[in-house]
Structure 1
Amino acid sequence: MPQQSKTWLLRLLYPSNPMRKVMYDRFGDEQVLAVREQPTPTIASNQLLIQVKAASINPLDWKIYRGEMKLMSGSTFPKGVGIDFAGIVSQVGAGVTGYRSGDAVFGFLEVFTGGALAEYVVVTEATIAPKPANISFDQAAALPVTGLAALQIVDQLAAVGPGQEVLINGASGGVGLFAVQLAKQRGARVTAVAGPAGLLRATQLGADAVVDYTKQRLSQLPQRFDVIIDLSDKLAFKAARPLMKPRATFVSMLPSPLGLVGAFFHNLFSGRKHQILILKPTAAGLRVLAALTEQQLQIPVEKVYDLASVQQAYQETSQGKIKGKVVVVID
């Protein structure tokens, strides 16, 4: 091999500016996650290099690295983990017009590819928005995935409006805490279902009534609802039907091919609709969320970890030990 080629290969394999990134080489539990040194990525003319200050943890993360969503994520390794982040623009491609080096931004990576738990990420303008000045990097990192999911559910799938009765099952989780606030902003009357530890937070965020699922069965509730949002993945549409008004909407998370087909055919013949969230993050949605933070949208970050503690962070979060959003800071 010519000396020039050898030099190029050595620079490729051993870059002078490596970064840290959380990666895994096989599906499994939190033990497969490791912090490794990787080359700091380069950017194309339409891309930006973001120095990540914080990234948040989402249930979708562990469903992917445990291999529960192979059909969508694929089985090619190594893989990164983490979807949403907040940070500072480090480099700007020649074709980028909306941002400059030093701008504070927040955004998301491709859902099933991930890689936000890293010191640097490469993005386009279509996946970021300016970070609101009134919130921290930790809070901004906690907003994209769960905030956009709640926004899509409340405004698009359920079309929540004034005077509607809305039941949110799993109201103390990341999406639930935003959904409670957004449904209240749309003028609905919200009943929040949570465990004992989440009831107070749901009330503080505006829920009109709360149900402790450890003490009361949902099937025993006397009222009927215009919208039922299941964020726990434990309430089946069949079980929810008796709680629904004749033309109510049921929204569930985590799409599967079989579930999508079943919901499609059911909706053709029934007044009670079953909608399934297929998250479609957009920069426009991020800007809506940014505007909502100026209207007192609360971002409940419950716990913050450093990058070295990422295994512990995922273990405690996936076991349900922490309610609300969990963020990993990257120094």
Structure 2
Amino acid sequence: MKAIYYEKYGNADVLQYGEQPKPTIKDNQLLVRVHATSINPVDWKIRSGKLLPISGLKFPKIPGRDIAGEVVELGNKALAFEPGDRVYGMTDNGIGGASAEYAVISEETAVLIPQNLNYAQAAAVPLTALTALQALRDKGELVQGEKVLINGASSGVGSFAVQIAKALGAGEVTGVCSTSHIELVKSLGADQIIDHKEEDFTHRKDSYDLIFDAVAKSTYLDSKASLREDGRYVTTVPDLKDVAFGFALSVFSDKKLKAILTDDKAEDLKLISSWIETGKVKPVIDKEFPLNKAADAHRYSEEGHAAGKIILVIE
């Protein structure tokens, strides 16, 4: 099969396009013909070697977690799907495998793609939407009517977080973004916008019940004063120094620090699918690349200016 792979850690130049063995499946797995996948920051962080304790030294590696495609083969104990079903979710391999013509997913984590999404749109959903939902509902313990701030509201995770906060019943959602992305964030349902080039949201004291830093560009220590009593600060990929000190500090404070590690729960993706089907939530795509231009897609993601998701389309 054609795939993107790398045989050593490094910058985007290490990515190669060529033949790799088609994966084999276990009894509880599905083999999926991948039609689209996405680029998430974790993909190039793994590729660069920044997550070496997790990713290890076994090569070659195929990047990518998000799968959107059709089932072509089922394991002996996989009974919930049929060949030809359109499914999406995340690869069984916790560090990649999706940037290829074929990939493997567990039956228990795969979900049927909503009818109103094409494959590219579906590929934009799993990792980022699940992160947003679990950060707000589970870690952030969002209560209906609360005031929520999303830092990085135009990012892949942030664009879902604005919409999911509204779907969960937030009373007011403030999105922090750059000037060029203000109209997009408004269109996603944000009640207020803060242009980070014009204002530092941490200067707004006692303003929010929940702050979700979807891009890990702020810190708990900087943001603590902006939280109301019993407020929560949730971050994605946190600064380790901030977390070490912040967790210790939050033990003695009514304002808590939480870090999100995404769980690929099928029931959560089904909930997101239901919101997509009713129009409450929609994926935002910044740019699409063909599979053989994955290195360009990685470079574009690393620039940090994308609004929404970057998609790899596999013909």
Shorter chain as normaliser: what TM range?
A: over 0.9
Distance 1:143 1:281 in 2: 12
What is the CA–CA distance in structure 1 between the aligned matches of 2:179 and 2:214, rounded to whole Å?
Answer: 17
1:280 equivalent to 2:263? Answer yes
Matches within 5 A, 1:252-263: 252-254=235-237, 262=245
1:174 and 2:156 matched: yes
When residues 239 and 260 of structure 1 are mapped into structure 2, their CA distance, relative to the original with a 3 A threshold, is: closer
| 1:256, distance to aligned residue in structure 2 (A) | 7.1
Question: What secondary structure is seen at the aligned counterpart in 1 of 2:293?
Answer: helix
Query: Which residues in structure 2 correspond to 1:175-190 (within 5 Å)?
Result: 175-188=157-170, 189-190=172-173
Aligned with 1:48 (options 30, 34, 54) = 30
In the alignment, the residues of structure 2 paired with residue 200 and residue 308 of structure 1 have an alpha-carbon distance, to the nearest angstrom, of: 32
User: TM-score with structure 2 length normalisation?
Assistant: 0.94
What is the SS of the residue equivalent to 1:285? helix
Structure 2 residue aligned with 1:155: 137
Compute the TM-score of the two structures, normalised by the length of structure 1.
0.90
Paired position in structure 1 for 2:10: 28
The aligned length equals: 313
Instruction: Name which of 293, 297, 306 aligns with 1:309.
Output: 293
1:60 and 2:42 matched = yes
Q: Identify unmatched segments of 5+ residues in structure 2.
A: none
> CA offset at residue 94 of structure 1?
2.0
CA RMSD of aligned residues (A): 1.7
Q: Could you tell me whether the CA contact under 8 Å between 1:263 and 1:275 is conserved in 2? A: no
Letter in 1 for 2:5: M
Of all paired residues, the percent bearing the same amino acid is: 35
2:253 is aligned, of 270, 277, 281, to 270
The answer for the alignment partner of 1:94 in structure 2 is 76
Greater gyration radius = 1
- Match of residue 308 from structure 2: 324
State whether residues 285 and 311 of structure 2, in contact with CA within 8 Å, keep that contact through their aligned partners in structure 1.
Answer: yes
In the alignment, is the contact (CA less than 8 A) between 1:109 and 1:116 conserved in 2?
A: yes
> What amino acid maps onto 1:228 in structure 2?
I
User: Residue 205 of structure 2 contacts residue 225 of structure 2 at CA under 8 Å; is this kept in 1?
Assistant: no
- Equivalent runs, 1:76-91 vs 2, <5 Å: 76-91=58-73
Deviation sequence 1:274-301 (CA, Å, 0-9, x none):
0001111111222111111112111111
Displacement of 1:84 in angstroms is 0.5
Amino acid across the alignment from 1:159: E
Secondary structure of the 2:108 match is helix
Which of residues 230, 234, 253 in structure 1 aligns to 2:213?
A: 230
Q: Is the 8 A contact 2:220 2:242 kept in 1?
A: no
Deviates more, 1:40-49 or 1:115-124: 40-49
